[in-house]
């Protein structure tokens, strides 16, 4: 839509990603104060989060390169674009490894694990707000676009047709959805309704599965041919969310029975 250079060689895509990262840390700082956890624990999780984001960008490119390799037979790391799911899965994995391995070294009494449940509450809020701005970046860059349409759409470059065409602005729709989802998760966190992670997995998984039917940019194939890679992972997201929800409800029920 508007991929042009703005400043120092960067366009609105990179600027939106930067704004998203800043928003992510502002939400973390606003929601997690010294009243919630000690400064040492807060700083540990903050450094862990920064490291995980950096690794997340690497895995975002790695995942897309892998799916492109399955399709073309050519592996081009950092030249094939990025996929959100790859970044999220890689970033979360890195965060967990750093928390449970490095954290064990930093905190001899493992006191940081006492506050880990609070992190699982605030993390979906941080991811969602960052992802929302990231999708606006995709809108400006013209990537992740929807199908060519004669109805409501925005002019974007379509590689398959080698030209600009009016496309369904799936990036805009997803950005709006993510900002609304952030609002829901933020209210849940502030009211201490401890179902943020489950809500995120289920709602975003369902949304992503549906919106994929309107996307047209080729991101490779999934094991199941009639599903896109994102739809396959979306199904896993929903299943994980439902499983976590059932386990948490069972835990609550057992706790009430023991009173």
Cβ neighbours of 66 (radius 10 Å): 16
**What band does 210 get if pLDDT is binned at 50, 70 and 90?**
very high
Structure tokens at 68: 């492109």
- Please state the domain extents for the chain: 5-257
Structure confidence by residue, pLDDT tens digits, 109-146? 888 999 999 999 999 999 999 999 999 998 888 887 88
Helix (H, G, I), strand (E, B) or coil at 29: helix
User: What is this structure's pTM?
Assistant: 0.86
C-alpha span between 14 and 22 (Å, rounded): 12
Structure confidence by residue, pLDDT tens digits, 52-80? 988 888 877 787 676 666 566 665 665 55
Q: Show Cβ contacts of residue 125 under 8 Å, excluding neighbours closer than 6 positions.
A: 27, 31, 182, 185, 186, 189, 196
DSSP labels, 86-154: HHHHHHHHHHHHIIIIIHHHH-TT-GGGGGHHHHHHHHHHHHHHHHHHHHHHHHHHT-S-B-B-SSS-E
Look over the chain and give the mean of its residue pLDDT values, rounded to a whole number. Answer: 85
Structure tokens at 51: 């490291």
């Amino acid at each position: 839509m508007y991929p042009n250079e703005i400043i120092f060689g960067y366009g609105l895509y990179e600027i939106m990603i930067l704004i998203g990262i800043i928003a992510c840390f502002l939400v973390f700082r606003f929601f997690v104060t010294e009243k919630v956890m000690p400064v040492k624990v807060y700083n540990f999780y903050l450094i862990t989060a920064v490291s995980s984001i950096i690794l997340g960008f690497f895995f975002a490119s790695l995942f897309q390169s892998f799916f492109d390799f399955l399709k073309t037979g050519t592996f081009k790391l950092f030249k094939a674009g990025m996929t959100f799911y790859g970044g999220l899965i890689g970033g979360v994995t890195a965060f967990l490894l750093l928390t449970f391995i490095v954290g064990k070294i930093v905190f001899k009494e493992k006191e940081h694990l006492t506050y880990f449940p609070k992190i699982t509450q605030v993390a979906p809020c941080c991811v969602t707000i960052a992802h929302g701005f990231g999708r606006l970046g995709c809108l400006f860059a013209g990537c992740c676009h929807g199908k060519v349409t004669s109805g409501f759409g925005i002019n974007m470059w379509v590689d398959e047709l080698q030209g600009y065409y009016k496309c369904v602005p799936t990036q805009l729709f997803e950005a709006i959805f993510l900002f609304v989802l952030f609002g829901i998760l933020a209210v849940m966190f502030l009211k201490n309704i401890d179902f943020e992670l489950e809500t995120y997995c289920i709602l975003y998984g369902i949304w992503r599965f549906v919106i994929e039917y309107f996307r047209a940019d080729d991101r490779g194939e999934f094991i199941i041919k009639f599903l896109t890679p994102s739809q396959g992972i979306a199904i896993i997201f929903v299943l994980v969310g439902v499983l976590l929800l059932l386990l948490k409800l069972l835990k609550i029920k057992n706790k009430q029975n023991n009173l």
